[in-house]
Amino acid sequence: MSRSPIQCSVDLTVTGRNLGTLRVPHSVHRSAYGHIPLPIASFVGQKPGPAVLLMAGNHGDEYEGQVILSDLIRTLNPDDICGRLTLLPMANFPAAEAGLRTSPLDSGNLNRSFPGRALGAPTEMIAYYIEHHLIAGMDMVIDLHSGGSSLYCVPFAMTSWVEGNDRNVMRQKVLDALGLPFVLRHGPEADGWYSSSASWRAGAAGFTLELGGGGTGDPVIRQGAQTRILRALAAVGSYTGPIVGDVLAPAYRDFQGEDYVFAQEPGLYEPLVRAGEEIKAGQKVAHIHFPETPGKAPLDVHFDQAGVAMAHRVPARVIRGDCLFHIALNPS
C-alpha cells in the first residue's frame, strides 16, 4: 500500500467526540501550500462495539445525506456509542462545496474512483484515503446518496449479497432495521469502482442508501432517514441512545436485478411513471417531444420488462444517453 499524503487534523480513536478535517494537499496559484479540508468526526465509546463509517457528499449535489450527518455530528452523545462511529459528511468536498455531482477541480466522480491513487488527482487521492485509511478495518459502511440534480429516487437500500458471506447476518439486521420500502441486492464487487466495492474489498458490510434528490432537501425524507439510520446503528450494537420519531418497518420488497431507460433522441422528456411506481412489461414510460421541429410527433419510450421505478429523471431537456429511469426488475 502506498503512503497517502492526506493528513487528519485530529486523532479519531480518542474516547469521546472528535471533530476535525482531512487535509488533502492542493498546491495552486493562489495558495502554494494549501489543502482541501474534508470535515470529519468520530464518536468513540467507552464500551466495545463495532467500527462503523457513515459517509455522504460522495456526490456534491446530493444534499440529504450531508444534512443528516451534519445533524448527527451535532446531536449524538458519545456516551451512547459503543465502539467507534466515524462520520464523513462531505466526502468529495470540492464537489459538495460547489453543489456539483463531480469535482470542479478535476471533474472527478468520487463514486467512480475507488480504489483511487495515493498520489493522483484530488478525487483519486480522496478515494484512496477513504478506502485504505477509513473503510479498512470497518465492520459496516453506510454511504448516503440521493438522485442529485438530475434524478429523484424513492428511498431504497442497496447492498452486496452472496449466500454464505460472513457479514450477511449484520446485513440482514441492518436491512430489517432500516425498514425502507425497497431493497436491491447485487453481486460481489471485488473489481468495482464504487464505495460499496471498497467496502466489499475490506470485508465490511456495505450499504448504499438512495434518499430523494432532484436537487432539493426534503425534510420528511431526511427526518425519516435519520431515524432509520439510528435504528440500524442500534441493531448492530453501535448505538444505545434514544430514537425520536420512530418509524415502522414495512415488509420491504426485495430485488436482485436492475436496468435503466435512456433517452434515444434529444428533446423534452415527459415522464409517465414516477419513482416508486410499478412498471409492466412493454409499458409506455415517457414521451420525448421535439418543439424545435414543428409537426414532428413525440417519441414514445417503452420498457420491455416488469419492475418498479427506483428513480426518474427530473430535468425535461435531454440528449441521447441521458438516464430517464432506474428500474428494479421483478424476479423472472
pLDDT tens per residue across span 175-214: 999 989 999 998 877 788 999 999 999 999 999 999 999 8
Of the listed ranges 43-52, 148-157, 212-221, the least confidently predicted one is 212-221
Checking if the pLDDT of 172 tops 90, the result is yes
Checking if the pLDDT of 1 tops 90, the result is no
Angle in degrees, 0-180, between the axes of helices 63-75 and 219-235, rounded to the nearest 10: 60
Q: What pLDDT is attached to residue 247?
A: 62
Q: What pLDDT is attached to residue 215?
A: 85
Rounded mean pLDDT of 258-277? Answer: 96
Residue 175, H or E segment:
helix 168-178
CA torsion 15→209→121→188, rounded to 10°? 100
Q: Where in the chain is the domain with CATH 2.40.50.100?
A: 257-329
d(CA 301, CA 272): 9
Checking if the pLDDT of 249 tops 60, the result is no
C-alpha cell at 19: 471533530
d(CA 275, CA 212): 9
User: Of 55, 58, 150, which Cα lies nearest the Cα of 109?
Assistant: 58
Q: What pLDDT is attached to residue 50?
A: 97
Q: Where in the chain is the domain with CATH 3.40.630.10?
A: 7-253
Write the CATH number of the domain with boundaries 257-329: 2.40.50.100
CA angle 109, 114, 119 (to 5 degrees): 90
Rounded mean pLDDT of 210-235? Answer: 89
CA distances 107 to 60, 100, 116, Å, are 12, 10, 14
Instruction: Please name the residues in contact with 320: beta carbons below 8 A apart, sequence gap of 6 or more.
Output: 262, 263, 264, 265, 266
Q: What pLDDT is attached to residue 187?
A: 82
Q: What pLDDT is attached to residue 22?
A: 97
Q: What is the CATH T-level fold of the domain 7-253, as seen in this structure? A: Aminopeptidase (3.40.630)
Q: Residue 124, SS3?
A: helix
- Residue located via cell numbers 444534512: 67
Q: What pLDDT is attached to residue 237?
A: 96
Answer for the pair 43, 88: CB distance below 8 angstroms, yes or no. Answer: no
Answer for the pair 310, 273: CB distance below 8 angstroms, yes or no. Answer: no
What sign does the dihedral 79-85-89-90 (CA atoms) show? positive
d(CA 267, CA 291): 8
Beta bridge partners of residue 143, listed in sequence order: 55, 208
Q: What pLDDT is attached to residue 248?
A: 61
d(CA 292, CA 79): 62
Label residue 37 by pLDDT band (50, 70, 90).
Answer: very high
Checking if the pLDDT of 165 tops 90, the result is no
Is the link from the previous residue into 115 a cis peptide, with omega within 30 of 0? yes
* 297 DSSP assignment: P
Burial readout 25-54 (b: 16 or more C-beta within 10 A, e: otherwise): eeeeeeeeeebbbbbbbbbbbeeebbbbbb
Residue 66, H or E segment:
helix 63-75
Of the listed ranges 128-142, 154-168, 229-243, 246-260, the least confidently predicted one is 246-260
Answer for the pair 269, 288: CB distance below 8 angstroms, yes or no. Answer: yes
d(CA 178, CA 140): 14
pTM over 0.75: yes
Instruction: Please name the residues in contact with 332: beta carbons below 8 A apart, sequence gap of 6 or more.
Output: 257
d(CA 106, CA 1): 24
Query: CB atoms < 10 A from the CB of 15, how many?
Result: 12
Across the chain, what does the average pLDDT equal?
A: 93
Q: What pLDDT is attached to residue 13?
A: 95
